[in-house]
């Protein structure tokens, strides 16, 4: 997520999530203590289908937090071969169980299963992910109900760090049901932490940079990593490559230097002055200074051929 100070420049600002999480966990712990004092032990049930390592990791995190906060966390792990009927039967049991107050189906599920259909088996009030059609309808109408966690987290993050949203232009890259669409509905609502002018840009929009350039708050919800930099040619005759160079170097350090089995050491990263094509362009500039005149260098590569003119 990128937050800018004006509509003409996109300046990345890091919004740490740790302090927000700490505050939320403290509030949850307080609520759990009140319920337990009244004789109620809150319970969040989780369902995992298959052997996806990342999904299993998320389940372990939820169970660990549940233990720390003092609520129950019943869990059902179905094999990857489980049928739609198997999944829906588990959800029906949790819906009927008065000792279970919330249910979460870890997403994604194997391709042969229909997640949207399965969620409809749940009692909407137990659908903690807010994906039941009733809860999506509540969100669209501005009624109270469970909210999709990532959109709610983004709103909480902006509010915690004092980023004004009301009246600002928010551009969301992606229209998925779990993030893009619900976030658009959430931030457009008339509330102090929302009330924004929201534009949703998706794969059907060819000239999407036209929208991202004017964004005051830009949310990447496209399902793939997105790196945004300032326009290298903001207007005719003006070249401004610094932002793009910094973005390219950042991607290089994250995915090459920080890649699996490669050095993550800070000292090694500092030795990386630039990444291609930035390194080549810097070399061209040095050569141009040496020869004392205009210079064109053609960099013939295996996949692309780049031309640098200085």
CATH number, domain of 97, equals 3.40.50.10860
In terms of domains, do 192 and 261 share one? no
Same domain, 176 and 201: yes
Task: Answer whether residue 265 is part of any domain.
Answer: yes
- Taking only the tens place, the pLDDT of each residue in 146-204 is 999 999 999 999 999 999 999 999 999 999 999 999 999 999 999 999 999 999 999 88
**The CA-based dihedral angle spanning residues 55, 106, 254, 277, taken in that order and rounded to the nearest 10 degrees:** 120
CB 18 within 8 A of CB 51: no
Domain count, the chain: 3
Q: Say what the pLDDT of residue 7 is.
A: 44
Per-residue pLDDT tens for 237-268? 787 877 777 777 777 666 665 555 555 555 55
- Residue 159's domain comprises 2-16+147-220
124 and 112, same structural domain? yes
Indicate yes or no: pTM above 0.95.
no
State residue 274's pLDDT score.
55
**42 domain residue, yes or no:** yes
Same structural domain, 27 and 125 = yes
């Amino acid at each position: 997520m990128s937050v800018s100070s004006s509509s003409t420049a996109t300046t990345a600002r890091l919004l740490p999530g740790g302090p927000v999480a700490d505050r939320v966990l403290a509030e949850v712990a307080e609520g759990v203590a009140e319920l337990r004092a009244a004789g109620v032990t809150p319970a969040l049930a989780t369902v995992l289908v298959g052997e996806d390592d990342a999904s299993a990791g998320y389940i372990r995190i939820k169970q660990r937090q549940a233990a720390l906060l003092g609520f129950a966390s019943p869990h059902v792990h179905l094999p990857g071969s489980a049928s739609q009927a198997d999944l829906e039967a588990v959800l029906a049991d949790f819906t009927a169980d008065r000792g279970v107050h919330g249910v979460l189906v870890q997403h994604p599920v194997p391709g042969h299963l229909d997640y949207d259909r399965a969620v409809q088996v749940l009692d909407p009030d137990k659908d903690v992910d807010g994906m039941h059609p009733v809860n999506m309808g509540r969100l669209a109408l501005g009624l109270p109900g469970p909210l999709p966690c990532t959109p709610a987290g983004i709103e909480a993050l902006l509010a915690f760090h004092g980023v004004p949203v009301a009246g600002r232009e928010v551009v969301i890259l992606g229209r998925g049901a779990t993030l893009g669409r619900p976030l658009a509905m959430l931030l457009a609502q008339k509330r102090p932490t929302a009330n924004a002018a929201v534009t949703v840009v998706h794969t059907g929009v060819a000239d999407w940079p036209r929208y991202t350039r004017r964004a005051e708050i830009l949310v990447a919800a496209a399902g793939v990593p997105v790196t945004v930099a300032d326009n290298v040619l903001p207007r005719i005759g003006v070249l401004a490559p610094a932002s793009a160079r910094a973005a390219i170097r950042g991607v290089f350090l994250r995915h090459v230097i920080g890649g699996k089995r490669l050095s993550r050491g800070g000292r090694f990263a500092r030795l990386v002055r630039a990444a291609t094509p930035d390194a080549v362009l810097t070399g061209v500039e040095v050569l141009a200074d040496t020869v004392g005149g205009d210079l064109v260098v053609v960099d013939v590569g295996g996949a692309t051929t780049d031309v640098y003119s200085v």
